[in-house]
Amino acid sequence: MGQLALQRLPPLASLPRRPPSLPPPSLPCATVSRRPLRPGFYVARAMSSHIVGYPRIGPKRELKFALESFWDGKTSVDDLQNVAANVRKSIWKHMADTGIKYIPSNTFSYYDQMLDTTAMLGAVPSRYGWESGEIGFDIYFSMARGNASAHAMEMTKWFDTNYHYIVPELGPNVKFSYASHKAVVEFKEAKALGIDSVPVLIGPMTYLLLSKPAKGVDKSFCLLSLIDRILPVYKEVLADLKSAGARWIQFDEPILVMDLDTSQLQAFSDAYSYMESSLAGLNVLIATYFADVPAESYKTLMSLKCVTGFGFDLVRGLETLDLIKMNFPRGKLLFAGVVDGRNIWANDLSASLKTLQTLEDIVGKEKVVVSTSCSLLHTAVDLVNEIKLDKELKSWLAFAAQKVVEVNALAKSFSGAKDEALFSSNSMRQASRRSSPRVTNAAVQQDVAALKKSDHHRSTEVSVRLQAQQKKLNLPALPTTTIGSFPQTTDLRRIRREFKAKKISEVDYVQTIKEEYEKVVKLQEELGIDVLVHGEAERNDMVEFFGEQLSGFAFTSNGWVQSYGSRCVKPPIIYGDITRPKAMTVFWSSMAQKMTQHPMKGMLTGPVTILNWSFVRNDQPRHETCFQIALAIKDEVEDLEKAGVTVIQIDEAALREGLPLRKSEQKFYLDWAVHAFRITNCGVQDTTQIHTHMCYSNFNDIIHSIIDMDADVITIENSRSDEKLLSVFHEGVKYGAGIGPGVYDIHSPRIPSTEEMAERINKMLAVLDSKVLWVNPDCGLKTRNYSEVKSALSNMVAAAKLIRSQLNKS
């Protein structure tokens, strides 16, 4: 396969001279002087403006489709690289034409920026068979997705976002080397287009502290002990970039917003001191984001002599302002992240300008650079592509392309060239949102206020409930189930699109979905699965499906955000108070239950996950919005029970994701998040079995909150993370409810054998009672094809039966 970085890219396809992503009419670009830079490219007179990073999927998911076509063998390396080059070109051109001064490069990725850093450092796990040389697509994508002989690397959430990164596997025997020149190749690519970009690297501290000890390495291994071995590679990269003409370098060090100890902060300081000679001749920006920087970390950061500028998230990190007021080094640049990179609400330009003016009084106007709070990777790409949103709601929003314009507008205003008409329009739109009657529902507000009078625990202990449920369900030891979704075929997606577009009748649509249910039910019965699912053929997305049926939600036609690799999600927009006008799943679940004598799970998405996987209104506390969703889901749970559904799964895949990064804030979040889940099912009978599901996060540190959720059964990702979850039970935590740690990774095309899955089950039985253990995959099967699903589930059931027979004999 082709080289990931070094090979020369094919000639770039020509693009229109106008920016590919134009701001909406409500937020026009101010007129700027332009000077020709290269044929076909113009750059605005640059103010002090900066973008931390930008979505890489393309305005219409061009990269997603190119990747999947390449993985399926339908297109070539050149085809994939041509699409990628055009995506990068359009991003750089939009920023240059808008007038951004500090334009990032190397924020594009074919899969994940942490995986890119692993490739850059040559930290390839031995199972992939790489020994030396430039890392190509074959090794790169094998690390991300696995292959026939080697499983994929672990994937987990990037801080408290819904973006997933590939976790580096490190140990004392890893031999680091400069194995991917992607950063310098993309810098040169931008330079050839007339863009003097700022190359962006994941900082060495963030890289190491987000890694994990490789399999076979003692879990207590100190990852920071490798700092002296990766820094020489960083120095090679810096030398390469300087030789290519780079004048700036951006190190992303979001790890600094975490609670670091003294030794970690010393290692951080030592690392940048070690690189100081290589940084000579470069302007250095260290960017932090997602939260406040703790006082000790801030102090360490300010002590670095080699740094030109410091970037802070001033949307989620308002307390950092106090630290800046007390101490900011003279002569340094302050990159002020006042435009929210994680939400889609239009910036309150007047409020942001006041913040910038406050900073001006501290550090001086010429030292303030207007920036985004973090990479725009976490927001949708371009509002111009939206046709579903009504005019009023659209006027309240700004996607990535519009946020670039907001940054430039603030920079111009801050420098004395304020566009009064633009600011006036922005103020009117802010006022429109505050006063709109569609935002507030007094009855909902009253219902939420009343929730504070109870903790909403179920009336009996889980051990008593499990006995009552077993009498009713009569399940075998080690019952098998799946998480919910079955493959979403091309035909299935087409049918849903045609129904939405009114091209087929409701009768025809329901019949098609019914036939899909029958196929999924028959397959599960043939395989011998104990608790069935209907496969969710009627659902486009586990959050969008519910949001479309709740008031207070709006949906985009093209507001896609990358979750991992080629997987994109289209988060709903929560703009107002939430109610459930009518039942959402009862019709479908009842239909499916009638097809089988086996228990059929009613499938719901929990309130915390709906909240964390949406663009949430920022005009009231998040927990208030979450409780509104919880009340809606509670109504649905009780309607399912009345319809005869005896097993109801309320997924909380994103509960861990929303955990605040600072320990001092975590208890408050966990208290209200767990409370919201309990609200949904506190009124059901003991015989109704409540399941929940969680995936792709580190759950060990919140295990006691998971227990406090008081679910009857939890299915939880386990295999892709090398059974890290099981260690918490080795440490003595007692879990009395049903639990199903996943026995295979559904995000890899690799199909584990019966023996491999049986071995995993035995490892679980070493720490969990067979009376509470369930057998299931890591996650839903939506992204797999039917041949993979049938083989994997067949092996899974065979493994459960094998261990079940061994238990019976013993």
Parallel/antiparallel/unpaired status of strands 34-38 and 41-44: antiparallel
Name the helix (H) or strand (E) containing 493.
helix 490-500
> Would you state the pLDDT for residue 718?
82
Strand ranges, E, within 288-419: 309-313, 333-339, 368-372
CA–CA distance, 465 with 467 (Å, rounded to integer) = 5
> Would you state the pLDDT for residue 666?
94
Alpha carbon 643 to its chain's center = 35
> Would you state the pLDDT for residue 431?
96
Indicate the SS3 state at residue 188.
helix
* Residue that has been written with the tokens 């106007």 in this structure: 365
Q: Look at residue 44 and tell me whether its pLDDT is greater than 60.
A: no
Please list the residues that pair with 136 across neighbouring strands.
Answer: 3
Q: Look at residue 670 and tell me whether its pLDDT is greater than 70.
A: yes
Classify residue 682 by its DSSP letter: T
Note the pLDDT tens digit of each residue in 373-387: 999 999 999 999 898
> Would you state the pLDDT for residue 32?
34
Task: Return the closest-CA partner of residue 251 out of 240, 233, 238.
Answer: 238
Residues in CB range of 449: below 8 A, 6 or more apart: none
What DSSP string runs through 88-103? Answer: HHHHHHHHHHHT-SB-
Give the pair of three-digit tokens for residue 768. Answer: 């969990």
Q: Look at residue 234 and tell me whether its pLDDT is greater than 60.
A: yes
> Would you state the pLDDT for residue 719?
78
Where residue 722 falls among pLDDT bands split at 50, 70, 90?
Answer: low
Report all structural domains of the chain as residue ranges with CATH numbers, in order of start: 56-108+191-435 (3.20.20.210), 443-452+459-808 (3.20.20.210)
φ, ψ at 458 (rounded to 5°): -70, 155
Span of 7-11, 46-50, 581-585, 680-684 with lowest mean pLDDT: 7-11
CA–CA distance, 279 with 292 (Å, rounded to integer) = 27
Strand ranges, E, within 196-264: 198-202, 212-213, 248-252
Tell me if 40 sits within 8 A of 362, measured CB to CB. Answer: no
Parallel/antiparallel/unpaired status of strands 212-213 and 169-170: parallel
Span of 11-15, 504-508, 566-570, 758-762 with lowest mean pLDDT: 11-15
> Would you state the pLDDT for residue 700?
79
Note the pLDDT tens digit of each residue in 696-720: 666 778 889 999 999 999 998 887 7
Give the pair of three-digit tokens for residue 470. Answer: 């077993």
Binding site residues for L-methionine, as ranges? 483-485, 536, 651
Structure-model confidence comparison of residues 732 and 257, the more confident one: 257
> Would you state the pLDDT for residue 382?
97
Question: Which one of 151, 534, 691, 747 is the catalytic residue?
Answer: 747
> Would you state the pLDDT for residue 16?
32
Give the pair of three-digit tokens for residue 283. Answer: 């302007």
- pLDDT over 70, % of the chain: 93
> Would you state the pLDDT for residue 541?
87
Q: Look at residue 8 and tell me whether its pLDDT is greater than 90.
A: no
Q: Give me the mean pLDDT over the 798-806 stretch.
A: 96
Q: Look at residue 740 and tell me whether its pLDDT is greater than 80.
A: yes
Task: Return the closest-CA partner of residue 185 out of 7, 2, 1.
Answer: 7
Please list the residues that pair with 554 across neighbouring strands.
Answer: 573
> Would you state the pLDDT for residue 3?
36
Note the pLDDT tens digit of each residue in 389-422: 999 999 999 999 999 999 999 999 999 999 999 9
> Would you state the pLDDT for residue 748?
82
Binding site residues for Zn(2+), as ranges? 693, 695, 704, 708, 717, 779
Q: Look at residue 1 and tell me whether its pLDDT is greater than 50.
A: no
> Would you state the pLDDT for residue 747?
80
Note the pLDDT tens digit of each residue in 146-198: 998 999 999 988 999 999 999 999 999 999 999 999 999 999 999 999 999 99
Note the pLDDT tens digit of each residue in 478-498: 999 999 999 999 999 999 999
> Would you state the pLDDT for residue 697?
62
Tell me if 103 sits within 8 A of 150, measured CB to CB. Answer: no
CA–CA distance, 610 with 615 (Å, rounded to integer) = 10
- pLDDT over 90, % of the chain: 85
Strand ranges, E, within 88-170: 104-105, 155-157, 164-166, 169-170
> Would you state the pLDDT for residue 21?
37
Residues in CB range of 276: below 8 A, 6 or more apart: 305, 306
By residue count, the chain amounts to 810
CA–CA distance, 794 with 256 (Å, rounded to integer) = 46
Where residue 686 falls among pLDDT bands split at 50, 70, 90?
Answer: very high
Q: Look at residue 285 and tell me whether its pLDDT is greater than 90.
A: yes
Alpha carbon 192 to its chain's center = 32
> Would you state the pLDDT for residue 721?
67
Active site residue 747: yes
> Would you state the pLDDT for residue 724?
67
Distances in whole angstroms, Cα of residue 589 to Cα of each of 498, 513, 637, 644, 651: 22, 12, 12, 10, 16
Span of 302-306, 443-447, 571-575, 733-737 with lowest mean pLDDT: 733-737
CA–CA distance, 584 with 643 (Å, rounded to integer) = 13
> Would you state the pLDDT for residue 696?
62
Average pLDDT over the chain reads 91
Note the pLDDT tens digit of each residue in 523-557: 999 999 999 999 999 998 899 999 999 999 999 99
How big is the chain by its Cα radius of gyration, in Å? 26
Note the pLDDT tens digit of each residue in 65-91: 999 999 999 999 999 999 999 999 999
* Residue that has been written with the tokens 């500090």 in this structure: 102
